Amino acid sequence: WLVAAGKAAIPMARAAADQLGDRLHQGIIVTKSSATVPADLAERYPELALHLAAHPVSDASSVAATEAVAAMLQGTSADDVVLCLISGGCSALLTRPLLTLPAWQQLNRALLASGCSIHTFNRIRQHLDEVKGGGLLRWAAPAAVRTLILSDVIGDDLSIIGSGPTVPPAATPAEADALLRQYDIYAQLAPATADRIQALLTSAPVDSPFPPYDNELVANLTLAAQAARERASQLGFTARFLTGRLDGDADQLGRFAAALAVDAPANEALILGGEATVQVRGQGRGGRNQELALAAAPLLDGGPPLALAALATDGEDRITGVAGAIATHLTANQAATIGLDITATLADNDSYAFWQALNASGEPLAGGLVERDPTGTNVNDLLIILRYEN
């Protein structure tokens, strides 16, 4: 049996099916509705049913896909093995919430806008959704479960990746309640929803034991950073990988990255990885990487020649078709020339419109959006700084 869920579900499932051959009895793939689906998928892998679902906020398609997984796993026996392939995005794609769907969506939108880390986000969701925090293990019982995990989380905590469908919870219900209070989430919810969540977290039942399971990390941000460093070296830069644990507010990280960039020696490439967060205060559109690059731009103005690229490895920085943005030492000047206000744009969280306008201005050396299709994988975000010769 096979369950593949996440942004990388299709390529992971295809690779597993090729290896398993006729040992594969039945499987389900759950991935984003914007995913690129190979034309021969159904014909070549008839044992695999494909379900396209919503991300980053679950909808009825996510619930339906999850119900299909639960129904399939009812057919397992103690002699069976369930192979689970988990990648980033699984938290939204695979869901059976203990709230109504509208209430669940309201909670998720509030958490997305709060600026909390993915660790906080998923510690909360694990106690309000049947499939998370090891729920998939119980659905698969009495079969043994083997899980291969592609990490999109800083530190590679397996209980956080995809909200840990095959891993016991990372926090207690009381800790989840405390996190909701810390970020003032209850005040942003309908009173009935807040009451329901508090009731669930204060009366959580004692869970049954987990069946046999094994989880293995197969890829993470470090691999992507190493590949970026190798490519920069091939291009003639002195390349260094500084950290894979970059996290925090996108505006603050943008300013930090700009300081690193302007102080870098000529002909040096700096590689960093992690994931920024955005506390949404305005009405605009954008993504964490677009906002990070925009926050860096004013501090690069008039400095040495360089480019700072903030990129989502899945190719989607909140907006399909946009992987992130590149800021350079010319960005702020070009923005002023065409009448763009960086400070006002950041206040309105409207980085996408800014970078769109910069792209349209016809000055490629000033940076702009990085536009591309989804990559079919997800190992968090990369920040790449290239300091050119003077």
Residues 6+ apart with CB under 8 A from 1: 25, 26, 27, 72, 73, 76, 80, 81, 82, 83, 140, 143
Tokens 């987990």 sit at which residue? 210
Q: DSSP letter string over 259-286? A: HHHHHSPTTEEEEEEEEEE----SS---
Question: Cα 26 to the chain's mean position, in Å?
Answer: 27
Enumerate the CATH 3.40.1480.10 domain ranges in the chain, comma separated. 221-387
CA-nearest of 382, 361, 152, 385 to 246 is 382
What pTM does this model have? Answer: 0.89
Q: How far apart are the first and last CA of the chain?
A: 58
DSSP helix/strand/coil, 145: strand
- Give CB contacts under 8 A, 24+ apart, made by 336-340: 337/361
CA-nearest of 257, 373, 272 to 323 is 373
Architecture of domain 221-387 in this structure: 3-Layer(aba) Sandwich (3.40)
**CA–CA distance from 38 to each of 20, 50, 108, 132 (Å)?**
19, 11, 31, 29
**CATH, range 2-219:** 3.40.50.10180
Enumerate the CATH 3.40.50.10180 domain ranges in the chain, comma separated. 2-219
**Tens digits of pLDDT across the chain (390 residues):** 999 999 999 999 999 999 999 999 999 999 999 899 999 999 999 999 999 999 999 999 999 999 999 999 999 999 999 999 999 999 999 999 999 999 999 999 999 999 999 999 999 999 999 999 999 999 999 999 999 999 999 999 999 999 999 999 889 999 999 999 999 999 999 999 999 999 999 986 666 778 889 999 999 999 999 999 999 999 999 999 999 999 999 999 999 999 999 999 999 999 999 999 999 999 999 999 999 999 999 999 999 999 999 999 999 999 999 999 999 999 999 999 999 999 999 999 999 999 999 999 999 999 999 999 989 899 999 999 999 997
